[in-house]
Amino acid sequence: MQQVPLPQDEAARLEDLARYEILDTPPEEDFDELTRLAATICGVPIAAIGLIDAARQWFKSRLGLDLSETARELAFCDHTILQRDLLVVPDAGQDERFRDHPFVTADPRIRFYAGVPLMTPHGHAIGTLCVIDRQPRQLTPEQSEALRLLSGQVVRKLEMRRLVAALQTSRAFAGNLIASSMDMIVAADKHRRIIEFNPAAEAAFGYRREEVLGQSVNILYADVGEGATVNAAVVGQERHMQEILNKRRSGELFPCLLSASVVRNPEGAVVGVMGVSRDITEQKRVEDRLRDSEQRYRSFVETATDVIFTISPQGVITSVNSAFDRYTGFPREEWIGKPYLALLHPEDAALSTQRFQQILAGQTVAPVEMRVCTKSGEYVTGEFTITPQMQDGRVVEVLGIARDVTERKQVEAALRDSERRFRDLFENTTDLIQLATPDGRVVYANPPWRRALGYDDADLARNSVMDVIHPDNRDQFRAVLDGLFRGVNVERFETAFITKSGGKVFVEGSATGRYDDQGGLMLTRGVFRDITERKRAEEALRGSEVRYRQLVDLATDIIYRTDPTGCFVFVNPTASRIMQYSEQELLGRRFVDLIRPDARAAAERFYGRQFLRKIPSTYFEFPAVRKDGTEVWIGQNVQILEERGQVVGFQAAARDITERKQAEAALHKAKEAAESANRAKSEFLASMSHEIRTPMNAIIGIADLLLETPLTREQSEYVKIFQRAGGNLLELINDILDLSKVEAGHLEMERVGFDLRELIEKTVEMVAIRAQEKGLTLTWQVSPRIPSVLEGDPSRLRQVLLNLMGNAIKFTDRGAIRLLVEPELDAQEPGRLTFSVADTGIGIDADKVGVIFERFTQADASTTRQYGGTGLGLAIAKRLVELMGGRIWVDSEVGRGSTFHFTAGFGVHTRPSHVASAAPVELKGLRILLMDDRDTDRMIMKESCSAWGASVTEAASGEAGLREFERARAAGLPYQLVLLERSIAGQDGFQVAERLKQIGDARVLMLSSDNRSGDIARARHVGLAGYLVKPIKRTDLMHAISAVLGQIKAAPEAPAGRSEDVPALRILLVEDSPDNRLLILSYVKTLPYVIDVAEHGQVAVDKFQQSRYDLVLMDVQMPVMDGHSATRAIRQWEQEQGRTPTPIVALTANALPEEIRKSLEAGCTAHLIKPIKKATLLTAISEQTRSVTR
């Protein structure tokens, strides 16, 4: 048998069951009929109505069962109340829940069960209506529905039974209430005939119940019409209450409070009226007396000058008298019903709340002062007295009286303030105050008096006033006291006290007396101020004034004072001496009258501004005129003199600055002369540059052109001599110009971003051929700790490096040149660098090291004869390095070489580095064998390859390299690339390369310090991967390795200057030199250019206006009209004609920066400096004519 769980609403279900009060009641026919009907409909022998409480199933009605109740755990119905609908068990013997149930296996041997839960209106199942058979069976649908209907009937009968019981109870209570009520209860039917008359009514009216039943209610009213009105009001309102005048049987009238309501039948129709009355005769008497009392109370309250108010226990104002309006300015109606706390000052709210709670708790509260807000927003102070109003032992109201004490508080505050000020005056003033009796006894001395004189209470008790007055002043003080006795107060006098230590205190004060009604002196009061410091200062001032007057009189500067209008009120003797006026002649005279007339307006404006703006101190220089008419220059400081914020005058210290002014004038003239000389020098240098560069342009240009023609070996050597000589002369001119600019301070340093490694590579490339011609090894290295992109002047840095590296190559016949760039030692900024150029040349004597950076100086006179040079290069390099924020020095040893060092400061540029070639090759994982006997070269090559990710193994000889190559191949880790020096440790690199190829497949890149004829062809023949000539640029090495590895394709070289790639251009050549015209025409003769020639600027302007040109090549210095004037004329004509500006390239032999600026300002688009190389000219033409269609 399964355990049945309790329903979820078990507690509520049991509560609903208890409300019916049906358990253990006798059988009732109504329920038995429903049981019989259920058994008949379902055709079963057993039926029951069972109710389930907490522990049992009790049968209200049963058919075919001998049991009146069962334990709950044995009840089939316990299952039924869980599912809230019909539960059918066709065969209990086959049902797992019931087959071992004792009611199945034994009597009453249930086989069939069907039960419907009894659901209360609240939705709780309190029991079942069930049918039972001893045979298995099924219910038809009609039988199932009938059972459900019958279960509803059972619940309705339970509800009816409960309601009937409740009604009976209610009626019993009502009867008892009516009979026992102290109030008169009278009921009448709808015809107003009395149907109920309780004992209280009998006693009040004097009628017995039997006498009035059935009679009209009118016999009870003093006014029949009023009774009818009451009846109508009750019927219309359902419930009505009013006072009414009733009539006793004796005819006596008495007042009652009537409460009446209608009585309706179940259908809602009015069947009568029920009235409950209470005799209020005594209440009326009390009310009359109370009314009289309240009237007297209200009259008192309304006429009271204090505010009288009442507050509910909830803190709400319930009443206030008219004084409230006067006190606060608010109409009282505005505050009735509002919280009283809203009227109080926020700071008083907490105290008020505390006192109010104490009142509510029945405690006695003393009067308290609080501030009340008035309608104007101000606060007045009130003294509040509050008492509780008790009823039935509890507070029902709080009565309060508030008295305006604002004026009293103000008087008290004023009194306290007066007392405080008096006390503060006495205690805290710096004045010395004493009170004494007429006989001189000191009765009070304030703290400053005691501190100043050092006396305590015991001292005052022993000494009189006269004892503390200094002996030198006692006679004077007696005279003061005598005056007080006569009623004469002394407003101001000076005296002196003697201190306890014997010192003297000077005071200034007043003495007054206090007198009785008869005029007798009662008390003397002295108020003194310590003027000891003032006395000392006055004494010191008198001495200082004497010294100051002596200083002013002896001063070599003019010292004077003026009034606010600028008139002299004091002058020292120096003013009279310099200006040649006497003191009397100067006093009263305006100082501006002494200023030279043409300078007075400026001086008046200057000092007027000082006066208006109240500038404390100014300095001004002006020319003045002496009495004899001579001129003197004055420089003066002027200070404003102020008293109480008002300007009372000026004080000045002036000096004769005539000699300084004369010196400044002379210096100005000398400066102008120097600037004129400098301009003359610059013009001379520009002219010299132009006169030398113009023919040099032709010489060097023609030499370049000759080298492009077939020449014999001897002719070629002659032409190269021209080139070298021209180059040396050009270098001399450039050095002279640079030195001139440096010395004149005209050399401007650029600040642009540049790639340091790219600059170093190109600089080394520029001198590499000279190094190779001498068989020198040229290497360079930049520390990886240096940022790639810097900010500075790259051209000036290149100039210094070219000078140092050129000198190193010039003075080195064998060995190596090395350039090293590292961060400056101990430098905090990342852009501080150290450059070192080391050579293995002739070296410098130690005694010459200190002078080689001077102009026109070399280590030895023989050096100039053997190596040439002007001695300007290092001087210029030194000045350039200094302009870059660094210094230059040299370490050298004769016969072993020199190392030139210099430092420089650069900014670190934020933009990424730009490399002309493709992105760096990725060599990660590539194994390279580097074979070179030069340690420096190996270090540089390894650093570059390792930076790209390669693994590099070094070998310092051919044999060591061959062994390493064979070892790696045998170990299964062959080298993918070999970098091999052409001449390594005395071995021929080509032979080593052939042996490498015999060992295995080797890709070899040959590195050579010499550009030997035929080596490149031999490298191709042997099958080498490439051939590079040192010094090797990183970009060239990168491209070569990339080509070897197949990572980038080597771009085929395009023939330079092919005419089919050059657009046909129409060019105007403006040049006064026939040689230079011939040179430029020769440069472009192979190109499809149409050249028009103009001998000077005027011809150029005429030709330009008559034809259209793609480009103008404009010489600057020409007769008739120079190039700049011609350019301006062309630009103006283009603007007038609305033409697009034509590119104009200035050609000048003037290399000064000012000349470039003048060219650009005139309207030129580019500027070339003579001598002009062919490649430079062709590049400029190409760049300026890119927009021309090809």
pLDDT-based confidence at residue 919 (cuts at 50, 70, 90): very low
Is the pLDDT at 1054 greater than 50? The verdict is: no
Half-sphere exposure of 1151 (CA within 13 A, CB side): 24
pTM of the model: 0.35
pLDDT-based confidence at residue 1056 (cuts at 50, 70, 90): very low
- Range with the largest mean pLDDT of 228-242, 479-493, 915-929: 479-493
What is the side-by-side strand order in the sheet with 907-908? Answer: 752-755, 789-792, 907-908
CATH superfamily, region 10-167: GAF domain (3.30.450.40)
> In the prediction, which pLDDT does 390 show?
86
555-656 to CATH, choices 3.40.50.920, 3.30.450.20, 3.90.870.10, 3.30.830.10? 3.30.450.20
- Lowest average pLDDT, out of 80-89, 161-170, 944-953, 1181-1190, goes to 1181-1190
Scored b (16 or more CB within 10 A) or e, 681-704 reads ebeebbeebbebbbbbbbbbbbbb
> In the prediction, which pLDDT does 1153 show?
67
> In the prediction, which pLDDT does 918 show?
40
What phi-psi label fits residue 192: left (phi over 0), alpha (psi between -120 and 50 degrees) or beta? Answer: left
* Contact (Cβ atoms closer than 8 angstroms) between residue 806 and residue 798: no
pLDDT for 23-47, tens place per residue?
999 999 999 999 999 999 999 999 9
d(CA 347, CA 818) in angstroms, rounded, equals 90
- Range with the largest mean pLDDT of 127-131, 241-245, 852-856, 1165-1169: 127-131
pLDDT-based confidence at residue 424 (cuts at 50, 70, 90): low
Architecture of 927-1045 per CATH? 3-Layer(aba) Sandwich (3.40)
CB contact set of 1061 (below 8 Å; sequence gap of 6+): 1190
Q: Which of 59, 91, 94 is nearest to 74 (CA)?
A: 59
Task: For residues 940-953, give the mean pLDDT.
Answer: 84
Tell me the percentage of the chain whose pLDDT exceeds 70: 88
Is the pLDDT at 1052 greater than 50? The verdict is: no
Q: Give me the DSSP letters along 1085-1146.
A: TTSSEEEEEESSHHHHHHHHHHS--SEEEEESS-SSS-HHHHHHHHHHHHHHHTPPPPPEEE
CATH 3.30.450.20 segments of the chain: 181-279, 305-408, 429-531, 555-656
CATH superfamily, region 429-531: PAS domain (3.30.450.20)
Compute the mean pLDDT over every residue in the chain, rounded to the nearest whole number.
Answer: 84
Beta bridge partners of 617: 639
> In the prediction, which pLDDT does 180 show?
73
Structure tokens at 193: 């005939």
- Lowest average pLDDT, out of 212-226, 291-305, 1139-1153, goes to 291-305
> In the prediction, which pLDDT does 498 show?
93
* Contact (Cβ atoms closer than 8 angstroms) between residue 197 and residue 212: yes
> In the prediction, which pLDDT does 359 show?
86
Helix, strand, coil proportions of the chain in percent (round to 5)? Answer: 45, 25, 30
Pairing mode, strands 1004-1008 and 977-981: parallel
Domain 305-408 has CATH 3.40.50.9100: no
pLDDT for 437-482, tens place per residue?
998 898 888 888 988 899 998 888 888 889 999 999 999 888 988 9
More confident residue, 723 or 1049: 723
* Contact (Cβ atoms closer than 8 angstroms) between residue 405 and residue 382: yes
pLDDT-based confidence at residue 1097 (cuts at 50, 70, 90): very high
Task: For residues 43-61, give the mean pLDDT.
Answer: 95
> In the prediction, which pLDDT does 496 show?
93
* Contact (Cβ atoms closer than 8 angstroms) between residue 390 and residue 396: yes
Q: Which of 1021, 260, 1147 is nearest to 693 (CA)?
A: 1147
Is the pLDDT at 346 greater than 80? The verdict is: yes
Structure tokens at 350: 């907490």
Beta bridge partners of 369: 383
In the chain, what is the straight-line distance between the N-terminal and C-terminal CA atoms, in Å? 111
Task: For residues 915-940, give the mean pLDDT.
Answer: 73
> In the prediction, which pLDDT does 665 show?
86
Structure tokens at 1174: 């062919």
Task: For residues 400-425, give the mean pLDDT.
Answer: 72
More confident residue, 1025 or 10: 10
User: Residue 1153 is which amino acid?
Assistant: P
| Fold assignment, 749-908 | Heat Shock Protein 90 (3.30.565)
Is the pLDDT at 357 greater than 80? The verdict is: yes
d(CA 534, CA 405) in angstroms, rounded, equals 51
Distances (CA, A) of 880 to 748, 795, 855, 856: 10, 11, 14, 16
Dihedral angle computed from the Cα positions of residues 974, 979, 982 and 983, in that order, rounded to the nearest 10 degrees: -80
Structure tokens at 339: 């919280």
CB contact set of 802 (below 8 Å; sequence gap of 6+): 763, 766, 767
- Lowest average pLDDT, out of 575-584, 880-889, 1048-1057, goes to 1048-1057
Is the pLDDT at 420 greater than 80? The verdict is: no
| Fold assignment, 1061-1184 | Rossmann fold (3.40.50)
Is the pLDDT at 51 greater than 80? The verdict is: yes
CATH 3.30.450.40 segments of the chain: 10-167
> In the prediction, which pLDDT does 775 show?
86
Pairing mode, strands 270-279 and 253-264: antiparallel
Beta bridge partners of 930: 954, 979
Q: What angle do CA 486, 491, 494 make, to 5 degrees?
A: 105
d(CA 1183, CA 667) in angstroms, rounded, equals 50
Q: Which of 419, 461, 426 is nearest to 446 (CA)?
A: 426
d(CA 613, CA 690) in angstroms, rounded, equals 60
Q: Give me the DSSP letters along 1020-1057.
A: HHHT-SEEEESSPPHHHHHHHHHHHHTSSPPPPPPPTT
Task: For residues 251-262, give the mean pLDDT.
Answer: 89
Tell me the percentage of the chain whose pLDDT exceeds 90: 36
Is the pLDDT at 76 greater than 80? The verdict is: yes
Distances (CA, A) of 855 to 525, 800, 845, 924: 95, 15, 18, 52
pLDDT for 1069-1087, tens place per residue?
999 988 888 889 988 888 8
Dihedral angle computed from the Cα positions of residues 1042, 1048, 1049 and 1054, in that order, rounded to the nearest 10 degrees: -90
User: Residue 278 is which amino acid?
Assistant: R
* Contact (Cβ atoms closer than 8 angstroms) between residue 608 and residue 619: no
Domain 181-279 has CATH 3.30.450.20: yes
Task: For residues 235-245, give the mean pLDDT.
Answer: 81
> In the prediction, which pLDDT does 686 show?
61
> In the prediction, which pLDDT does 1053 show?
37
CB contact set of 151 (below 8 Å; sequence gap of 6+): 116, 117, 118, 119, 128, 129
- Range with the largest mean pLDDT of 543-557, 724-738, 771-785: 771-785
Structure tokens at 189: 């039917």
